[in-house]
Structure 1
Amino acid sequence: MKEIALFVGILFQLSILSSAESNGFTVDLIHIDSPLSPFYNSSMTQSDVLINAAFDSISRAESFSLNIDQNSDETITIPNKGTYLMAFYIGTIPRGLLAVADTGSDLTWIQCLPCTKCYNQRLPIFDPRKSYTFNLVRCANSLCKKVRRNACGIFGDCRYKVDYASKSSTQGNVATDTISFNNSYDGYSKLKFGVDTQKNRTGVITTPLVSLNPSTYYYLSLDSVSVNGKVLKPNESSFGNIIIDSGATITFLKTSWYEKIEAAVLEAIGRQSVAVRNPIRPFRLCYKDGSITNFPTITLRFYATLNDLKLSTMNIFVTLGHLTCFAILPTEKISIIGNLLQVFFNIEYDLEDRTVSFAKANCLKE
């Protein structure tokens, strides 16, 4: 029996309470495991957080692969709590909500009263009757066609329904309303809209976005990975061979490619540091913490770029208690650039020019 809940899919009209800029605005991102998150568990150690994130990343990667295997633009990834949350306010008078900031999904929905089988949520459910800027979208409206799997209700209202691979679903009305943001946290990650984040930066690396199904995902072409200057290419075509994703923590590479990279990492670290025989699952390559004296230099070369993207040690190694582990995992499915590998970079999605750009970021100032 499927769980069914009634929701409203919102096509947002934006207004800003603060942090407004002449050509854009900025929103705070809240990591799900930070004290500001409703998912925060003070009993979990940093190792627990990273291990759970790795297993969540595996589940997410499997859901991506399921959608790709079905070769359909109508499928939607399994919903989960993701990695980053963003707070926003909806309607007038504004009501505060939290949503997952997810580059792997394209539908924005919230629970609205009266829903008949509501999913549990800690914040009050939005009541559209209390917002005078709330408007249902009619079926004849061109906005209705922007929502995949739309249908007409018996009163001419635009409706949607999405079935998730987890056997749950969401259905309801498409509507417009006003949302606003009120940033209050310094030193946290930021999501910037309408701002050229790479302007006046040096060493920017820009690569084209590749159009593939499902079109929800952001596909890039990763031509090679270098370990201490040793160039390692995938066995298959690099065209659209990797997804860049905000919801997965860990990076995944095709098994045949990963094994070449792992061998190069072992060689670069050298025999003076011995990998442990029983690494912490799901990680495959771990060393006793403090035993690595030669961390390898790893760089990425994307299609149509002149320079490599140099990663820091913290992008590719994590400390789990008494072990230091290689934070890239093999997969038999689609490769994924997780958010750990994106730390310390400004990453810009230009959907007009269909490009993604990387530039070094000073996380203490930006």
Structure 2
Amino acid sequence: MPANNTHTCRESGMKHVQMKQLQRIRVALLLLSLEKIVLLLPLFALTFSCCDAAALKLHTNHADAGRGLTRRELLHRMAVRSKARAARLLSGRAASARVDPGAYTDGIPDTEYLVHLGIGTPPQPVQLILDTGSNLVWAQCRPCPVCFGQGLPYLDPSSSSTFGVLPCSSPMCGNLAWSSCGKQNWGNQTCVYVYAYADGSITTGHLDVDTFTFAAADGSTGQASVPDLAFGCGLFNNGIFTSNETGIAGFGRGALSLPSQLKVDNFSHCFTSIAGSESSTVLLGLPANLYSNAGGAVQSTPLVQSVSSLHAYYLSLKGITVDSTRLPVPESAFALKQDGTGGTIIDSGTAMTLLPQDVYKLVQDAFVAQVALPVDNATSALLSQLCFSVPRGEEPDVPKLVFHFDGATLDLPRENYMFEFEDAAGSFTCLAINAGDDRTIIGNYQQQNLHVLYDLVGNMLSFVPAQCNKL
């Protein structure tokens, strides 16, 4: 979901909005420097230890799971969130530019998957947005003078025996793009952070450390605790959030992300169907038998290094095939440019794949030409998707859809790119891919029941078909 404030999306020229955001940041920093706020957080002796790269497990649920939404509603929400997410993802563009998320104003949150873990001793539960496009891990903390509502209690640092405040001289504080020192009577200088997003959302608080508790990755009922992980204790948080999440877990490439702090060589996720209610799995550190029950051959493609972003994960997409025809798209249409524009990102926080306008038009035209069904213009316009009218009770043939990467081929199963639903208006099958800006974003709908592994040492991304509900 979020983007670090040093890398935001396309320039909008909305200077008055930029000024408001800067004013909010100044106010937040001023408030955090007030002694009466700082004194509410206890200061403990700090020991920052290195953790071993043991395999850790996180359970994650889709934000729409168990809400009783119809399949038409699910598809609509996917489309809206994908457009909003594209406006927030990282790129090498103007740092203070704001992007209007458009249809996001209908109140649908920019939230896909929530990971569940505990912070503190004893562990206090948090539900953090899984975000491979940002770095900072943060949660809302008491006393929370300015916070959004959440279902769980605010994290209470005073109730944790292992909580510690980081000084602004710490290396972790130096990894923040915006930070300052909160002065206290006893002479310590607390690291105060500000983390802003392209849509105007913002979190401000102290950068602290505490013990994080995860599920054991070996399938046992035990838990694994890791001490001294840095996280943002958010006291002033404002933006487009819901009562489901309590903060964000950054899984990007930067030093503050969860994988980086855990010093794991890799992490992986396996998303179950968004139409179901079964939880998905995130693994930090690779168990030896990870792919032993895979449903096919493991394929790997290099992760592309971006000079403008240490957050998002870029891939080298070479082309797209619809049925048996390779579309006439030059590789340059998917390439990451020197100025940080373009490129192909794989992202946990984008619902459906977004393609550059010209590329999407070719895909759309190919499906219209090859699907022997009428396009339902009313449904297509309403959902902003290409939708075909289907005779009730039938599952018509659709062309195959294949993405060609450097060294790997993603041959998508039908359920990973077509979305079927039936209601009073009729029966429909819709292409769950949409047009975006100049970037290609591989969304999580296309990653369903794929075990996707990010090899951070080998700088590779691997994937294999899997029964994600069995991990």
1:234 & 1:132 partners in 2: Cα distance? 58
**In 2, are the aligned partners of 1:209 and 1:354 still within 8 Å (CA)?**
yes
1:317, 1:327 within 8 Å by CA — same for their partners in 2?
A: yes
Kindly report which structure 2 residues correspond to 1:337-348, keeping only aligned pairs within 5 A, or say none: 337-348=442-453
SS of 2:149's equivalent? coil
Q: CA deviation at 1:191?
A: 0.5
CA contact (8 A) 2:419 2:431 kept: yes
Q: Residue 105 and residue 216 in structure 1: after superposition, are their counterparts in 2 closer, same or farther (change >3 A)? A: same
| Matched residue, 1:298 | 401
Q: Partner residue of 2:76?
A: 51
Q: Which amino acid aligns with 1:68?
A: S
Partner of 1:70: 93
| Pair 1:206 & 2:300 matched | yes
Aligned to 2:230: none
Q: List aligned pairs for 1:34-113, cutoff 5 A.
A: 34-35=65-66, 40=67, 42=68, 44-64=69-89, 67-68=90-91, 70-72=93-95, 80-113=109-142
Decide which moves more: 70-79 or 235-244.
70-79
Q: Which residue of 2 aligns with 1:118?
A: 147
Q: Which moved more, 1:209-218 or 1:130-139?
A: 209-218
- Whether the 8 Å contact between 1:92 and 1:133 is mirrored in structure 2 is yes
Question: CA–CA distance in 1 between the matches of 2:356 and 2:395?
Answer: 26
User: 1:215, CA displacement in angstroms?
Assistant: 2.2
Given residue 268 of structure 1, which amino acid in structure 2 is its aligned partner?
Q
Superposition deviation, residue 105 in structure 1: 2.0
Structure 1 residue ranges without an equivalent (≥5): 16-21
Q: Which residue of 2 aligns with 1:217?
A: 312
8 Å contact from structure 1 (residues 137, 174) kept in 2: yes
Residue 187 (structure 1) shift: 5.0
Give the conservation status (yes or no) of the 8 Å contact 1:46–1:320. yes
Query: Would the alpha carbon gap of residues 347 and 73 (structure 1) be closer, same or farther in structure 2, given more than 3 Å must change?
Result: farther
1:147 deviates by 3.0
1-side partners of 2:122 and 2:351: how far apart?
36
Q: 1:216 to 1:73 in 2, by over 3 A?
A: farther
Matches within 5 A, 1:132-151: 132-151=161-180
Corresponding position of 2:214: 181
210-219 or 352-361, which deviates more: 210-219
SS across alignment from 1:107: coil
Question: How many Å apart are 1:203 and its aligned residue?
Answer: 1.8
Pick which of 104-113 and 280-289 moved more: 280-289
- Verify the 8 A CA contact 1:74 1:214 in the aligned structure 2: no
Distance 1:364 1:96, change over 3 A: closer
1:239 is aligned to: 335
* Secondary structure of residue in 1 paired with 2:361: helix
Letter in 2 for 1:283: S
Deviations 1:286-333 (A, max 9, x none): 111346632111111102x1x521101111110233211111111233
Alignment of 1:287 with 2:383, yes or no, is no
Query: Which residue identity does 2:455 align to in structure 1?
Result: D
Note the C-alpha offset of 1:61. 1.0
Q: 1:166 to 1:260 in 2, by over 3 A?
A: closer
> Could you tell me how far 1:163 is from its partner in structure 2?
2.2
TM-score by length of 1: 0.84
Per the alignment, do residues 120 and 293 of structure 1 end up closer, same or farther by CA in structure 2, a change over 3 Å counting?
Answer: closer
SS at 2:87's partner residue? helix
Pair 121,143 (structure 1): closer, same or farther in 2 beyond 3 Å: same
Compared with structure 1, are the counterparts of its residues 74 and 52 closer, same or farther at alpha carbon in structure 2 (3 Å cutoff)?
closer
CA–CA separation in structure 2 for the residues paired with 1:209 and 1:71:
24
Cα distance in 1 between the residues matched to 2:96 and 2:345: 16
What is the alpha-carbon distance in structure 2 between the residues aligned to residue 88 and residue 14 of structure 1? 20
Structure 1 counterpart of 2:402, which letter? Answer: T
* Residue aligned with 1:239, SS: coil
1:299-314 pair list within 5 angstroms: 299-303=402-406, 305=407, 307-314=408-415
2:195 partner amino acid: V
Q: CA deviation at 1:164?
A: 2.3
Q: CA offset at residue 206 of structure 1?
A: 1.0
Within the candidate set 421, 425, 428, 1:320 is matched to 421
Per the TM alignment, residue 256 of structure 1 is displaced from its structure 2 partner at its CA by: 0.9
User: CA–CA distance in 1 between the matches of 2:213 and 2:370?
Assistant: 49
Distance 1:97 1:364 in 2: 22
Structure 1 stretches of 4+ with a deviation exceeding 6 A read: 5-8, 11-15, 73-79, 183-186
Q: Offset at 1:161? A: 0.6
| Contact 2:85-2:110 at 8 Å conserved across structures | no
Give the C-alpha shift of residue 115 in structure 1. Answer: 2.5
Residue equivalent to 1:19:
none
Q: Deviations over 1:66-106 (max 9, x none)?
A: x5262559999999551111111111121111111111221
Give 1:18's aligned residue: none
Contact 1:318 1:325 in 2 (8 A): yes
Contact 1:251 1:337 in 2 (8 A): yes
- In the other structure, the counterpart of 1:192 is 283
